Amino acid sequence: MTIEEVAGRLPASPTKISRMENGQRGASPRDIRDLSEIYGVDDERVVSKLIALASESRYQGLRQEFGDLGHAAMYTHMDIEAAAFGITELQISYLPGLLQVEEYARSLIRGTLPGLAMEMLERRVQARKKRQARLWEEPPLPYCVIVDEAALRREVGGSRIMRRQLDHLLWVAAEGRVTLQVMPFCRGAYTGMDGPFMLYELPEPMPTPIVFVETMDAVEYLEKPTTVALYRTAIDRLKSTALPPAASIALIDEIKGSFAGSRL
């Protein structure tokens, strides 16, 4: 098969196929699954091994580069995030890490971890930036975010940083890298407002899916099918209650304008 034939069936650009074959870019677990089908690899044990290797290769570089952060829960989170072929996220108090600009991330980490050494703070910011590369892979990662209006209005780092941060949200949404919905104040109480969470869709043979829940003193990974089903139901309710994407974008743009008159 030619590169063009493979690209047409994946679907992907011939450049992507060429770069994968020449070791210039990695292959996602989903790429491996699709290519195995195209090439007629029907031994599920082989396919599962290849998918596991692809999943490992995604986060291996992050672990090597940021192994000094010393936070085991963070590494597990990066592992899961790197392997996922779909992410749904609810955030209430601040904006998702995958969508944060550098200045916002720095101000947020400084505010939530005031005793953190400056060097370690910068390492965390850089790790967050590296993680965001997931959003720019091809094909695009299905990434759905429901964000509370409070997170958009909370001034993290000053008005200039907030304007830049909200501009970034608008740009990433326009590029088709995130499906963004806002839960406005007028909706009142809603399912999930007691705590943020992320639902990760994972390829076989890894457990699929996993719900990630983080509190001030604990991190939980929920895999029980009945528990995951509850979160799926919550996501359906959240999506139907929140503003649709077009109205959400309009509200974000309006909120961005409210920071224009601030002194900071």
On whether the CB atoms of residues 195 and 215 are closer than 8 A, the answer is yes
DSSP string, 121-161: HHHHHHHHHHHGGGGGSSSPP-EEEEEEHHHHHS-SS-HHH
pLDDT, the chain, mean: 86
On whether the CB atoms of residues 26 and 59 are closer than 8 A, the answer is no
**Ranked by mean pLDDT, which of 16-30, 114-128, 150-164 comes out on top?**
150-164
Average pLDDT score over residue span 226-255: 97
Average pLDDT score over residue span 92-101: 96
Of 3.30.420, 1.10.3470, 3.30.870, 3.40.50, the CATH number of 72-99+134-258 is 3.30.870
Coarse DSSP helix, strand, coil percentages of the chain, rounded to the nearest 5 percent? 55, 10, 30
On whether the CB atoms of residues 144 and 245 are closer than 8 A, the answer is no
Task: Pull the structure tokens for residue 179.
Answer: 């499906």
Band (pLDDT 50/70/90 cuts) for residue 134 is confident
CA pseudo-torsion sign 97, 99, 100, 101: positive
**Better-scored residue on pLDDT, 85 or 218:** 85
Task: Pull the structure tokens for residue 70.
Answer: 């010393």
Residue 182: in which H helix or E strand, if any? strand 179-183
What is the structure's pLDDT at 221? 85
> For 35-76, what is each residue's pLDDT tens digit?
999 999 988 888 887 877 776 665 555 555 554 455 555 556
Band (pLDDT 50/70/90 cuts) for residue 246 is very high
Q: Please compute Rg for the chain using Cα positions.
A: 20
Where in the chain are the domains? Answer: 72-99+134-258
Kindly tell me if the per-residue pLDDT of 97 is higher than 80: yes
Kindly tell me if the per-residue pLDDT of 15 is higher than 80: yes
